[in-house]
Amino acid sequence: MKDCRCWDANSSKNYEELFDKLDTNKDGKVDVAELRSGLIAMGIALRTGEAQKIVATGDKNRDGVLDFTEFARYLKEHEKKLWLTFKSLDKNDDGRLDACEIKQSLAELGMDISTEAALKILQSIDIDGTMTVDWNEWKEHFMFKPATDLEEIIRYWKHSSQLDIGDNLVIPDEFTNEEKISGVWWRQLVAGATAGAVSRTGTAPLDRIKVFMQVHSSRSNQISLVGGFKRMLNEGGVTSLWRGNGLNVLKIAPETAIKFMAYEQYKKYLSSEGDKIETAQRFMAGSLAGATAQTSIYPMEVVKTRLTLRSTGQYSGMIDCARSILKREGIKAFYKGYIPNMLGIIPYAGIDLAVYESLKNAWLAHYAKDTANPGVLVLLGCGTISSTCGQLASYPLALVRTRMQAQASLGNLEQPSMRSLIKSIVANEGFFGLYRGILPNFMKVIPAVSISYVVYEYTKSSLGISK
* DSSP assignment string, 35-103: HHHHHHHTT----TTHHHHHHHHH-TT-SSSEEHHHHHHHHHHHHHHHHHHHHHH-TT-SSEE-HHHHH
State how far the Cα of 29 lies from the Cα of 65, in Å rounded to an integer: 6
For every one of its 467 residues, what pLDDT tens digit does the chain have, with 9 covering 90 and above?
334 444 344 566 788 888 998 999 999 999 989 998 888 888 776 766 778 888 888 888 889 899 999 998 888 888 887 887 788 778 788 889 898 888 877 666 555 667 887 788 788 788 888 889 898 888 887 777 755 445 544 544 455 555 566 665 555 666 656 566 666 778 878 888 898 899 999 999 999 999 999 998 888 888 889 999 999 999 999 999 999 999 999 998 898 888 888 888 888 888 765 455 666 777 788 788 888 988 999 999 999 999 999 888 888 889 999 999 999 888 999 999 999 999 888 788 778 877 877 787 677 667 765 555 566 677 778 878 888 888 888 899 999 999 999 876 666 656 788 999 999 999 998 999 999 999 998 898 888 888 888 888 788 788 876 54
**CA distance from start to end of the chain:** 28
Write the secondary structure of 17-52 as one string of H (helix), E (strand) and C (coil): HHHHHHCCCCCCEECHHHHHHHHHHCCCCCCCCHHH
pLDDT at position 349 is 75
Q: How far is the CA of 184 from the CAs of 178, 180, 446, 452, in angstroms?
A: 8, 6, 28, 19
* Torsion from C-alpha of 210, 212, 216, 222, nearest 10 degrees: -60
pTM for the model:
0.67
- If we measure between CA atoms, which residue out of 277, 212, 276, 274 comes closest to residue 240? 212
Q: Is 368 helix (H, G, I), strand (E, B) or coil?
A: coil
State how far the Cα of 340 lies from the Cα of 332, in Å rounded to an integer: 15
Q: Is 149 helix (H, G, I), strand (E, B) or coil?
A: coil
29-30 and 66-67 strand pairing: antiparallel
pLDDT at position 170 is 57
- If we measure between CA atoms, which residue out of 15, 49, 55, 48 comes closest to residue 32? 55
How do the residues of the chain divide into helix, strand and coil, expressed in percent and rounded to 5?
70, 0, 30
pLDDT at position 112 is 61
461-464 CB contacts, 8 Å cutoff, 24+ apart: 463/187, 463/190, 463/191, 464/187
Q: How far is the CA of 431 from the CAs of 345, 396, 423, in angstroms?
A: 21, 10, 10
State how far the Cα of 356 lies from the Cα of 362, in Å rounded to an integer: 10
Q: Is 133 helix (H, G, I), strand (E, B) or coil?
A: strand
pLDDT at position 205 is 95
- If we measure between CA atoms, which residue out of 111, 289, 282, 117 comes closest to residue 183? 111
Q: Is 337 helix (H, G, I), strand (E, B) or coil?
A: coil
- If we measure between CA atoms, which residue out of 20, 315, 308 comes closest to residue 166? 308
- 306 Cβ partners below 8 Å, 6+ apart? 315, 321, 325, 405, 406, 409
- 123 Cβ partners below 8 Å, 6+ apart? 131
CB atoms within 10 A of CB 274: 9
In the chain the domains, ranked by start, together with CATH numbers, are: 8-154 (1.10.238.10), 177-462 (1.50.40.10)
pLDDT at position 140 is 81
Predicted confidence (pLDDT) per residue in 130-179, tens digit: 889 898 888 887 777 755 445 544 544 455 555 566 665 555 666 656 56
State how far the Cα of 390 lies from the Cα of 401, in Å rounded to an integer: 16
